C-alpha cells in the first residue's frame, strides 16, 4: 500500500530526479485537503452502520429481486455476505481516501474479486449499483467536497469490478 506522498517519491526516485512543480502541486493539494480527509473519515467511521443500511435499502428498493427466492442476496447467509461486502467497500474506500491513493483497493479488495463474484453468480452490475449507492449516501452525509474525494475511490472500485 502507498499514499499520495510515497507515490510521488517512488515515481521520482525511479528516475533519480528531484521533485518538479507537478510533483510539488500534487503534494500541496494532498496536504491542503488533509483536514478535510480526516474529518470525513471520522464522520464515516461514526456513521458506518447507518450508511450501510441506507445504501442497501436503496439497492434492494431498486432491485427487489436480489432478495427474493432465486436472487443472489436471498437467504440469511447470502444477505449477510452482501451487507458485509458493502461494509468492506466503505471501509477500504475510506482508507484509500485518507491515503489519497487507490493502491490499497487493488491489493486488498479488487484482486481476484471479479473472478470470485463470477464464480458465485454475484451480479456485478448490481454490486456496482451498491457501490454507487454508498457514494450517494456518503456524499449527502459528509458534504460535496469530502463527497467528491470519496467518490474518486467508489468510482475506482466500480470500474475495477465492471
Residue 19 DSSP SS3: coil
Minimal distance, residue 6 CB to ligand CYC, in Å: 22
Taking CB under 6 A as the criterion, which residues in 88-147 touch ligand CYC?
88, 108-109, 113, 116, 120, 122-123, 126-127, 130
User: Per CB under 6 A, which region of 4-12, 21-29, 73-81, 146-154 contacts ligand CYC?
Assistant: 73-81
Minimal distance, residue 21 CB to ligand CYC, in Å: 37
Taking CB positions, which residue lies at the least distance from ligand CYC? 82
* Contact (Cβ atoms closer than 8 angstroms) between residue 92 and residue 108: yes
* Contact (Cβ atoms closer than 8 angstroms) between residue 156 and residue 102: yes
Quick one: three-class SS letters along 53-99? HHHHHHHHHHCHHHHCCCCCCCCHHHHHHHHHHHHHHHHHHHHHHHH
Minimal distance, residue 101 CB to ligand CYC, in Å: 17
* CA dist., res. 63 & res. 55, Å (int): 12
User: Per CB under 6 A, which region of 7-15, 42-50, 66-74, 94-102 contacts ligand CYC?
Assistant: 66-74
Residue 18 DSSP SS3: coil
Q: Which residues bind ligand CYC (CB under 6 A)?
A: 59, 66, 72-73, 78, 81-82, 85-86, 88, 108-109, 113, 116, 120, 122-123, 126-127, 130
Amino acid at each position: 500500500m502507498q499514499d499520495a506522498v510515497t507515490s510521488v517519491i517512488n515515481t521520482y526516485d525511479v528516475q533519480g530526479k528531484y521533485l518538479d512543480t507537478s510533483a510539488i502541486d500534487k503534494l500541496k493539494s494532498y496536504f491542503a485537503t488533509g483536514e478535510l480527509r480526516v474529518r470525513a473519515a471520522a464522520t464515516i467511521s461514526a456513521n458506518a452502520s447507518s450508511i450501510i443500511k441506507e445504501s442497501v435499502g436503496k439497492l434492494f428498493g431498486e432491485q427487489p429481486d436480489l432478495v427474493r427466492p432465486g436472487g443472489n442476496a436471498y437467504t440469511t447467509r447470502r444477505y449477510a455476505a452482501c451487507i458485509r461486502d458493502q461494509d468492506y467497500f466503505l471501509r477500504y474506500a475510506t482508507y484509500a481516501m485518507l491515503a489519497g491513493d487507490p493502491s490499497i483497493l487493488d491489493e486488498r479488495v479488487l484482486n481476484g474479486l471479479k473472478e470470485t463474484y463470477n464464480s458465485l453468480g454475484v451480479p456485478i452490475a448490481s454490486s456496482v449499483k451498491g457501490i454507487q449507492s454508498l457514494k450517494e449516501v456518503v456524499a449527502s452525509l459528509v458534504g460535496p467536497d469530502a463527497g467528491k474525494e470519496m467518490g474518486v475511490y467508489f468510482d475506482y472500485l466500480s470500474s475495477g469490478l465492471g
